Amino acid sequence: MAYQQISLAQLQSYFYEQVGENQRFWRPDEVTGILQESLRVFNVLTGFWRGRLSGGLTVASQVYYPVPAGFSYILRIELNGRQLESSSLWDLDYGQPGWEGTTGLPVAFAPVGMNQFALWPQSAVGGESLEIDGVVTAPVLSAIGFVNLGQDELETILDYAQHIAQFKEGGQEFEASQESLKEFLKEAGQRNGILMTSSKFRGYMGLTDRKKRPMGVPAAQVGAR
């Protein structure tokens, strides 16, 4: 479905529709905070807002580089227009012992936390250009006129917003909002294949290949009883 420009006022209106138009229980500034958190969580799980930024030039014998401001996390890096392989510190530590001391033309990168990445091998001469693709921070609702969302994304974000909001009410209302949370996570999982490979995520969503038996009922045995 085509994307549409949605203002903060429209988002607040959609939210109030979700919660029965109760504008006295949830203040507009409170709703803005709820919607902002929903955008950020949705973005972290799905990588919805993406961008490309320059990482500057490599430096001879330098291993670690800062992630440009504005990225939540990086997805891919190009060096002189050539895509680098994605690795991890664990793979480098155990697969390439002494990797921090090797020099040459970098062929791989590895994230180091949220604000750094490493290149392997370290550049021998420096001066190669770095272009970085990543997930940018979610739009700040109070600082923009509109946010671009499709109908599916809008409904998913509102599901999570409703779940957060019901925490204030507690009790049965909050318990009932667990279904909205599951719908949100289900949609996020469909958009992000990595989530679907997580055993914890699949278990939480009830997605398991194991057949369940009622507790306390022994498995059927062959032979006389």
pLDDT band at 203 (very low <50, low <70, confident <90, very high): low
pLDDT at 213: 46
H/E stretch holding 185: helix 178-191
Distance separating alpha carbons of residues 205 and 33, to the nearest angstrom: 27
Distance separating alpha carbons of residues 24 and 10, to the nearest angstrom: 18
Instruction: For 65-90, write each residue's pLDDT tens digit.
Output: 999 988 888 889 999 999 999 999 99
Q: What is the pTM of this model?
A: 0.73
pLDDT at 205: 57
Percentage helix, strand, coil, to 5, in the chain? 40, 25, 35
Instruction: For 139-165, write each residue's pLDDT tens digit.
Output: 888 767 788 888 889 999 999 998 988
Question: Domain extents for the chain?
Answer: 4-48+138-204, 52-136
Q: Mean pLDDT, to the nearest integer, of 170-177? A: 76
pLDDT band at 224 (very low <50, low <70, confident <90, very high): low
pLDDT band at 20 (very low <50, low <70, confident <90, very high): confident
Distance separating alpha carbons of residues 139 and 141, to the nearest angstrom: 6
Distance separating alpha carbons of residues 161 and 80, to the nearest angstrom: 42
pLDDT at 212: 46
